[in-house]
Copies of this chain bind each other. A is one copy, B any other.
Amino acid sequence: MSEEPQVPTPRRSRRRGDDLIQAIHAAVLAEVAEVGVGGLTMEGIAKRAATAKSSLYRRWPAPRDLLLDALYEAHPQELPSPGADDLRGDLIQALRQLIAWMIAPAGIAVRAVMAERQRHPELVEALYDRVFDARGGTFTDTVLRHYAAQGQIDPDLITPVVRDIGEALVFKHVTDANDLPDDEKLAAIVDQAILPAIGILPDRK
């Protein structure tokens, strides 16, 4: 939450400001997916958002800052279920969030950025620092830490490798199948890989 002085702006004009920022965020995500990192300009973003370049420069020094802001805002945050006593369900839900993000404008924009990594390594570094890590690390990470804090998982078992299992297997599935995993596959990833790694062995039926 920002520490802005509470200027008596009417609700209406603030809402208009939020709408504008949302439009600009949507514009930069669509723009980078279409023209790539190298083609990203304030002019192109402003045009797509139907606003003036000056209103972009007022907030962001350069297109990349704007892009990182938009990706940060669009990044989903895992929330354990209310009551938080469904570790398995919450892990599946976290992977569902990952998939929803992958096919949303933010995920598509991230793929465009990653595809140009060799040309723009510092942007990818900023993406990890200022978006992924700042938003809670990998998907399933927040859920795992939550249940560890509740005493349901030994925190020592939540290693960097274990935090990556869910994302890694979702990405592998997408690569091999050229398609998104369905709920049955997500459940298999949770039951057969994530839960055993935190000491919960599969029910043998």
Q: Which of A9-17, A49-57, A68-76, A195-203 contacts B (4 or more CB under 8 A)?
A: A195-203
Q: Interface readout for A162-204 with B: 1 if CB under 8 Å, 0 if not?
A: 1011011101110110100000010011001100110101101
Q: Which residue of B lies closest to A164 (CB)?
A: B172
Q: How far is the CB of A48 from chain B (nearest CB, A)?
A: 24
Minimum CB–CB distance from A160 to chain B (whole Å) comes to: 8
Judge whether A176 and B128 touch: CB under 8 Å: yes
Give me the 10 closest cross-chain CB pairs, A-B, nearest first.
A168-B172, A168-B168, A196-B196, A161-B192, A196-B197, A168-B169, A161-B188, A164-B172, A159-B192, A193-B197
CB of A21 within 8 Å of the partner chain: no
For A197, list chain B residues within 8 Å (CB).
192-193, 196-197
User: In which size bucket is the chain A interface?
Assistant: 20 to 34
Task: Tell me the smallest distance from the CB of A202 to a CB of chain B, in Å.
Answer: 8
Q: Are B169 and A165 in contact (CB under 8 A)?
A: yes
Bound together, the chains give a CA A58 to CA B186 distance in angstroms of 48
Write out, one digit per residue, whether chain A residues 121-143 have a CB within 8 A of any chain B CB (1) or not (0). 10010001000000000000000
Identical chains in the assembly: 2
Q: Across the interface, which residues of B come within 8 angstroms of A204, CB to CB?
A: 156
Nearest CB in chain B to that of A159: its residue: B192
Tell whether A119 is near chain B: CB-to-CB under 8 Å: no
A157 contact set on B, CB distance < 8 A: 192, 202
Kindly provide the distance from the CB of A196 to the nearest chain B CB, expressed in whole angstroms: 4
CB distance from A137 to the nearest CB of B (A): 11
Whether, in the assembled complex, A148 has its beta carbon less than 8 Å from a beta carbon of chain B, the answer is no
